[in-house]
Amino acid sequence: MPPFKIFQHSYVMAENKINLFNEFPPVSTTEWMAKIEADLKGKDFEKTLVWKTNEGFSVRPFYRSEDLEKVSYLDALPGQFPFVRGAKTNGNEWYIRQDIQVTTPEDANKKALEVLNKGVNSLGFVFKGCAEVTVADLEIVLKDICLDAIEVNLVSCCKSVSNAKALAAYITKTYGADSNVIASAKVDPLGSLTRNGSFDEAIYAEMKALIEETNSLENFRSIAVTGKNFRDAGSTIVQELGFSLAIGAEYLSSLTDAGLSVDDVACNIKFNFGVGANYFMEIAKLRAARMLWAKVVEAFEPKCECSSKMVIHSENTIFNKTVYDPYVNMLRTQTEAMSAVLGGTDSLTVLPFNAIYESTTDFSERIARNQQILLKEEAHFDKIADPAAGSYYIENLTDSIATEAWKLFLAVQEKGGYVAAFKEGFVQSQVNATAAKMDSAIATRRENLLGTNQFPNFTEYMQKELDAEVFSKKVSKSDKAIAEPLARYRGAQAFEALRYATDVYSKDNKRPLVFMLTIGNLAMRKARAQFACNFFAVAGFDVQEGKGYNTVEEGVADAVEADADIVVICSSDDEYAEFAPAAAEMLIDPIFVVAGNPACKEELEAKGIKNFIHVRSNLLEELKSYQKQLIG
C-alpha cells in the first residue's frame, strides 16, 4: 500500500473511531472470578492459580486495567525520567557484542576484524591474568578497527584502573580528547569483593583520578556494576537488582565524598546484568532497574536529569546452562536474549552454547551472533521503543520487582552500605539461601532443566574427557579476603557429575541397565514406564521397556534375559498388591523398584520391598543411591 493510502486509511479509522470490541459486552473482574472459581470446582484459587515467586511476591493468573491504577510511572514516555521505558526515544537499537579472549594482541585483532564483518558492532576484549595492558598493546589489538562506528569494551581481571587509562589514552591519541567513541572499561572493586572477598578502600582514590583524567571523553564509562555475579551464584532477580543498586549507590557516595560531582560519577557507571530463563520477569527487571537507578541518582541532586540514565549491558547467566544436551542452551539463550532486548538493554552478549564446558568454536560463536541478528533483521525487535509498555502483566511485574528490590536495597543501606553488608555476611546469606532453595527444586524436579533432570536424551553418552571443574562450584577466594565470596556455579552440575560418572564407568564396564516390567492396566503401566525411563536415564543408565506382560513370570524372565541391574515394576496402584510381591520374590540379583507411591506401600514394605520412585522423590539423592550400589 502506498504511503499516502496508509495515511489516508489511518485517518479514516481515527475519524470513525472504530472500536472493535463494541460487539462484546463488558465483563467485570467479579464476573471473571466467579467463572474461574466455578471452573476450579472447589479448589482454592490462591493455591491453584496464584504463583508464589522466589522474588517474594505473588503473580496472579490474569490482570486487568484496574491493576494499573497503583502504578505511578505510566505517564512517562521513552526517554523521560524515570526512564522505566528506556533512554531511547526512537526505536530500540542495541549493540550486538562479542567478547574475545586476548591470548596475543595480534590474534585478538585478527579475530575482531573477522567478526566485525559478520554482524557484530560491539567488541569486548577480555584480558586474562594480571598482565598490564599498554597503549602499544591496544594499537595492535585495535589496528584497522574504526571505533567511530562500533562500541569497544575492555575487561581485565586485575590492574583494571591502569588498563582503563590505557584504553582512554589510546582513544585520545587516535581520535582526539573530545572523541565521541563509545567505550567502557570494567573497574569494579565491589564486584571483586563479591567474587573473591577482597577489597581496599584505597581504590577509590585511583577511581577518582581515572574519572578526572578521562572526563573529556563523553561516552567513556570506566566503572562497572556487575549484577551478573549474583545470578551466576543462584540469586533471584530481586536480589540481583537490589544488590546491584547498593553497589552503584556506594560508588556514587564514595566518589562524591572524594570530591567528584554526582554527574561525573553517574555518567561513568555501566551496569552488567545476567539474564535468565524467567522470560517476562527479565523484561520487567530491566525496566524496574532503570526506574530505581534514576531515583537513586536523583537523591544525589545531579545538575542534569540525563545523569540518571542507566546504561545496561546484558549477558546470559550460566546458572541454567547444561553440558548434556547442550544444543538446548541455544533455546535458553534465545529466549533470554529476547527478554533483554524487549527490556531495553543497550548492549547484549549471547553466550555460545558450549562456552561453559569447552573453548568456543567458530560454529558456536556464529550461532550466538546470528541469534541477535535474527532478532534485529527478521523479528525487527529494534524498531519499537519499549514494546512491553501497557501490558497489564509486565507493568505489574515491573512494579512488584521494583518494590521488592527497593526493600532489599534499603536493608543493605541500613547495614551501612554494600561493603558493610557483605563483610557481615548478609549478602551471602541471602543469595546462598536462594541457591539452596533452587538446588532443592532442581533435585526434586519442581524446577526443570530440560535434558538434565527431565527428558534426557537416552542415547547421549559423553565421549570427550571433561575437567572436574566443569561439575564443581568455582570459589576464587583471595589471600587478602575480608569476607567469604560468592560461589559461581550452575544448577545442573550435581546431575551432570552423576551422569558423567556413569559414562566414565561404562567405557570399561557394562552400562547399568534398568528394565521396565510392564504389567496390568495399560494406561497406568505405559505412563509409569515412561516416568521410570526418564527417571533412570537422568543418571546415564540404559533403559529398556518391556513389551507388556500377562503374567509376572513372563516379565521376570525377560528382565533376567536382558541382564537387568534394576527392575522397575510398572502397573496400577490396585494391582501392585498382587504383582509387586510376586516379582520381588522371583528376582534375586537385580534391584527391585516400584514405580509409584501406592496406597499399599506399607504392606509392600512389610514384605521386604523398599524401593519406590514417584513424582515426590528427591531425584538426585535417589539416583546417587542407586548409582553407588551399581558402580560404587
Q: What tens digit of pLDDT does each residue of 460-475 get?
A: 999 899 999 999 999 9
pLDDT band of residue 435 (cuts 50, 70, 90) is very high
Q: What is the pLDDT at residue 9?
A: 41
Rounded to 10 deg, the angle between the 237-257 and 279-299 helix axes is: 20
Asked if residue 352 has a cis previous peptide bond (ω within 30° of 0), the answer is no
H helices of 234-381, in order, are: 237-257, 262-266, 279-299, 328-342, 362-377
622 within some domain: yes
Q: How many CB atoms lie within 10 A of CB 587?
A: 21
579 within some domain: yes
Give yes or no for residue 136 having a pLDDT over 80: yes
Give yes or no for residue 14 having a pLDDT over 90: no
Q: What CA–CA distances, in Å, run from 228 to 34, 116, 143, 343, 394?
A: 43, 26, 31, 16, 22
Q: What is the mean pLDDT of residues 228-235?
A: 98
379 within some domain: no
Q: What is the pLDDT at residue 17?
A: 67
Q: What is the pLDDT at residue 309?
A: 97
564 within some domain: yes
Q: What distance in Å separates the CA atoms of residue 185 and residue 138, rounded to the nearest whole number?
A: 13
93 within some domain: no
Write out pLDDT tens, residues 324-352.
999 999 999 999 999 999 999 999 999 99
231 within some domain: no
First-to-last C-alpha distance (Å) of the chain: 72
Q: What is the pLDDT at residue 15?
A: 57
Write out pLDDT tens, residues 182-213.
999 999 999 999 999 999 999 999 999 999 99
Write out pLDDT tens, residues 307-327.
999 999 999 999 999 999 999
CATH code of the domain in which 595 resides: 3.40.50.280
Residue 341 corresponds to which cell in the numbers above?
Answer: 532486548
pLDDT band of residue 547 (cuts 50, 70, 90) is very high
Q: What is the pLDDT at residue 70?
A: 86
547 within some domain: yes
Domain that holds residue 575: 510-631
Considering its fold, how many domains does the chain have in total? 1
User: Which helix (H) or strand (E) covers residue 235, if one does?
Assistant: none
Query: HSE of 623 in the Cβ direction (CA atoms, 13 Å)?
Result: 29
Give yes or no for residue 238 having a pLDDT over 90: yes
314 pairs with which residues across the strands? Answer: 273, 348
Q: What is the pLDDT at residue 443?
A: 97
pTM (predicted TM-score): 0.93
60 within some domain: no
